[in-house]
Structure 1
């Protein structure tokens, strides 16, 4: 990278890291132990090149690095920058290295040359692929040893970032962000303007963690999830997750989600008993339904029916109600003649599940070619200046909601915001998310009653442009689209749509119909329509069915259009009503 290509602030990443350390020290001093406080103090005393090198290495995928491959113009002499880090033990030049780690550091040509001399390895390593060479060498090189012993002829320095430094920086990152899916690149993306965040006021007492035990608990759950992803044995994972209880509600939700994931892995391996154990202790949405399925696989039909009836009496969501309605007839048959007859509630669920939607529209179109989706093909077919059509899927309704309810979503409530890079409140998934903001949401929705909503949505579209939000899809929005929606969609309809979003603020964001049609010059009752598009062989997904049923039940114009390709081999031409 030439000098002109360097960012204006060469050490931007170092200053961002220092800012995060100061933030953590100011807000979490009571949660930092002596080694962590010592690290922060010693880091501040390091020469700037050493600080920059450590931050570079921590941000990169490691933990092993070859000095000759590290070229940072703003740091300069890499060996000189590494010297203070080696003296502190934060870099280690003598750490034992496994054969797999050696291979990860070198190219195929380099490892083939390294093992070309006589020894317990293939006679012609160059003839093998790198993976095959590694496989052939592993039985003969099971011990770990320092890099110098692997490659005595090398004059290049090879360092490992110390494990305690990696663990400590991971903990500090967790304290700053409150999660581990965000990293230090958030600073850079914000500085470049690629990500913009709402500025939410919060004081120094606004923290993700209130005690050190919560941090330890989060890291323990994270380690279990990583072990699951790495293919670890499932039984010890279940046992560890069952022990990982916490009085902290949001950590308990993370544990429930982990148990759900472990249960799914057990199901995939047909380990039904272990899957049942994981699901039995998980309160994550969907775990109860999967536990019923596991009971069926185990032949425990009475248990499956009992749990289904229990769920039916107090379903956790519309999704569970929908699934139960499909399962109960089967469970009643499997339980045999001694089973209790279907309750009135079960019959109601079954009736709701079989209540037909309005007949779908059928339309035959010329095949648009492999690069055009069925949704775009139908949109192009229908679209005119007098009756414009937009392919928005989940974007339009969510964005209208997100713009109108922006003050409620980004309210500075305790435990909702605690660092400047949050695209959503931390409690968005919490059961009491809406309840905690009930008055704020009610005030936002009052704008639909007194007519303020149009001006509010358009003003926020302009003033909040580009800021991250869990609901607003900036890339799919334009002022003409919003103007059409606000002109053609009655406020009463928007309120019904928004009320369903508030029933499940995360789950109900998806499943909305693909297209929205507008007729600006027609009577009010025909001014817009939501249309779910299905191509040949496509079926409605459950969340799409639930949205369509809701719209149908509340008189909202929503329909399904089945598209077939004209003249497609092996595809029958549709019959029945033709869409126009």
Structure 2
């Protein structure tokens, strides 16, 4: 972009965005906020503009400890005065004591030469040749905590306070724990465009305080787990996990998927370290994917083939997703001494010669081979089919009546990868497909979406010129019935059925094909097999291209 075209943000854009978030949350969630969170908002809005700017600048930086001499903001006229004001309202504090992880954060604001200089007067044996991170850990293990605080926690250190209140306010606004104020900047400088929804039509991230607190607690538990994974034995982690009321989190809709992710992390850590019985206990707490799959793998390792077979049949009756289905099918095949379903299909692939110079660009090499035969083509992997889906069902995806749009910076509805996505939209999706009587109607819907929403964030649409062009080329070859079958299948489970499509789409005159490219050491995945089988069923031409190096 030319310099004259660059977007220059207002000097205090970050303060405007921060105030917007506070006012938005107070307006929509005041009844769910705690007294301390409401006081946080009110006290912040009563600060002088300089003090507000300084707090937002600090809160947008990483960590909670900052060195005063490192802070310099041209728009803040008197940093010392702003700092005193923040202290008077307890927006920055001097803590009496610090937890071990806070001590690490405190020391990390210094560079290594400064750390060495400050510890020289202390009478402790420390290897000062260690790297900074290792030196800090060594200091935490050997130096008395009082000496550490007296040495490093001096008056030049600014400690951000009311972080818990701020984090809860951001959770209510974004609807998740990884929301970032930088999303405003990404929007304002034009790097991303979001759907414009009338704020009066926006739903709520949480219906109860209980749900929000559960999500926040799970976020903290996940952070705790990662720390424990580095320091404790697997069985000690199992004991830690056993103290968590995981059933409570699983009972709450907003917290359930996050709780299941923690289940998987703990269970897989135990499994990887061969604590199979404990891993099974964890996996048994939920029947979601991929927990049942992991149970099958453990049963097979323990030679509990009867249990493995029973679970496989149970999964086949009601699979969570494609991968789980094929793994269950493979368990049954194995006991019948049959090949894996993916292996069977891969053996049917066509062998193509590809120059060895494409060793690290296998798909490019395969495309070059087909181009040498007179074909033209695109790297279609996922993009072409996802584009058709996202553009055709744009209105249904972003329909505000489903309470899945909560704030103006959402790239996708909050339920986009949940089971309820299809359940909520089933009738609208079926009706749209039934009313589409010919391919021209379908193409017109897609063109209207392209004209109305170009470059607006959609979780399925890849706004790349080649991918959009590839979509039109694909539509010129396939029949309406085939496209509608594809769209209906994807809609049932967008989380698991919007990936796994073949790598290449090629065409020549009246001939076209998708190709899943496999190098000699690559293997077909369950997701890829799912789509190859569906394409076979609908008559969409797709094959596996087995690369042979020449």
Does TM-score exceed 0.5, indicating one fold?
Answer: yes
* Residues 315-367 of structure 1: CA deviation (Å, up to 9, x unaligned): 3333222111211355689xxxxxxxxxxxxx9xx997786468322122223
Q: Which residue of 2 aligns with 1:221?
A: 218
1:181 to 167, 178, 181: 178
Deviation at 1:442?
Answer: 2.2
1:546 and 2:530 aligned: yes
1:360 to 331, 334, 349: 349
Aligned to 1:137: 139
CA drift of 1:399 comes to 0.3
Instruction: Identify, as 1 or 2, the structure richer in helix.
Output: 2
Aligned counterparts of 1:356 and 1:135: Cα–Cα separation in 2: 52
Measured in 1, the distance between the counterparts of 2:93 and 2:340 equals: 68
Question: In the TM superposition, what is the alpha-carbon distance from 1:281 to its structure 2 partner?
Answer: 1.1
CA RMSD of aligned residues (A): 2.8
Partner-residue secondary structure (3-state), 2:505: strand
Q: Residues 90-239 of structure 1 correspond to what in structure 2 (within 5 A)?
A: 90-93=91-94, 95-96=96-97, 100-117=104-121, 119-122=123-126, 125=128, 127-144=129-146, 147=149, 149-151=150-152, 157-162=156-161, 165-201=162-198, 203=200, 206-232=203-229, 233-239=237-243
Q: Deviations over 1:461-520 (max 9, x none)?
A: 23211111111111364554343223222222212222221232111111100110123x
Structure 1 partner of 2:385: 397
The residue number in structure 1 matching 2:232 is none
Map residues 295-374 of structure 1 onto 2, 5 A cutoff.
295-298=299-302, 300-330=304-334, 356=345, 359-368=348-357, 373-374=361-362
What is the SS of the residue equivalent to 1:72? coil
Indicate the structure (1 or 2) with the bigger Cα radius of gyration.
1
Structure 1: 5+ residue runs without aligned partners? 334-346, 567-580
Whole-angstrom distance in 2 between the partners of 1:332 and 1:231? 43
8 Å Cα contact 1:206-1:418 kept in structure 2: yes
| Unaligned 5+ runs, structure 2 | 230-236
Deviates more, 1:187-196 or 1:243-252: 243-252
* CA distance in 1: counterparts of 2:202 and 2:518, whole angstroms: 51
1:558 deviation in Å?
Answer: 0.1
Partner of 2:422: 434
Shift in alpha-carbon separation, 1:392–1:476, aligned structure 2, 3 A:
farther
CA distance in 1, matches of 2:499, 2:467: 20
Q: CA deviation at 1:214?
A: 1.1
Give yes or no for contact 1:405–1:445 (8 Å, CA) kept in 2.
no
Q: C-alpha separation between the residues in 1 aligned to 2:205 and 2:496? A: 24
The one-character-per-residue Cα deviations of 1:127-174 (angstroms, maximum 9, x if unpaired) are 443345435434431414685x2059x7x6111112xx1111110000
Q: Return the alpha-carbon distance in structure 2 between the equivalents of residues 61 and 261 of structure 1.
A: 26
Alpha-carbon distance between aligned partners in 1 of 2:468 and 2:142, rounded to the nearest angstrom: 67
| Partner of residue 506, structure 2 | 517
In structure 1, C-alpha distance between the alignment counterparts of 2:63 and 2:288, rounded to whole Å = 34
Corresponding position: 1:36 with 2:37: yes
Q: Please report how far the alpha carbon of residue 447 of structure 1 lies from its aligned counterpart in structure 2 after TM superposition.
A: 5.9
In structure 1, the residue matched to 2:21 is 20
- 2:356 partner SS: coil
- Write the distance in 2 (CA, Å) between the matches of 1:194 and 1:241: 42
Alignment CA distance shift 1:447-1:564 (3 Å): farther
Q: Using the alignment, how far apart are the partners of 1:204 and 1:486 within structure 2?
A: 35
Specify the alignment match of 2:264 in structure 1.
260
C-alpha spacing 1:220/1:380, structure 2 compared with 1 (3 Å): same
1:494 and 2:483 are equivalent in the alignment: yes
* Conserved? CA contact 2:382–2:499, under 8 Å: yes
| More off after superposition, 245-254 vs 321-330 | 245-254
* Alignment of 1:475 onto 2:468: no
Q: Structure 1 stretch 386-395 or stretch 45-54: which is displaced more? A: 386-395
1:536 pairs with 2:520: yes
Distance of 1:198 and 1:192 partners within structure 2: 16
Tell me the secondary structure at the aligned position of residue 530 of structure 1.
strand
| Cα 1:267–1:129 shift into 2, 3 Å | same
SS in 2 for 1:245: helix
Q: Which moved more, 1:384-393 or 1:12-21?
A: 384-393
Structure-1-length-normalised TM-score: 0.85
SS at structure 1 position matched to 2:211: helix
Q: Find 2:547's aligned residue among 558, 563, 568.
A: 563
Partner of 1:418: 406
Q: 1:241 to 1:364 in 2, by over 3 A?
A: farther
Structure 2: distance between partners of 1:467 and 1:106: 42
Distance 1:358 1:475 in 2: 34
TM-score (norm 2): 0.89
Measured in 2, the distance between the counterparts of 1:434 and 1:251 equals: 20
2:394 equivalent among 399, 402, 406: 406
Q: Check the 8 A contact 1:90/1:161 in 2, yes or no.
A: yes
The whole-number CA distance in structure 2 between the counterparts of 1:363 and 1:475 is 29
Aligned mates of 2:43, 2:451 — CA distance in 1: 46
**Residue-by-residue CA offset, 1:205-264 (whole Å, 9 max, x unaligned):** 721111111111111111122222223523322441524336532322332332223212
Using CA pairs below 8 Å that are at least 6 residues apart, which structure has the higher relative contact order? 2
Q: Take 1:506 and 1:531, find their aligned partners in 2: how far apart are those partners?
A: 22
Deviation of 1:197 (Å): 1.0
Is the Cα contact below 8 Å between 1:513 and 1:533 reproduced in 2?
A: yes
For 1:339, the equivalent position in structure 2 comes to none
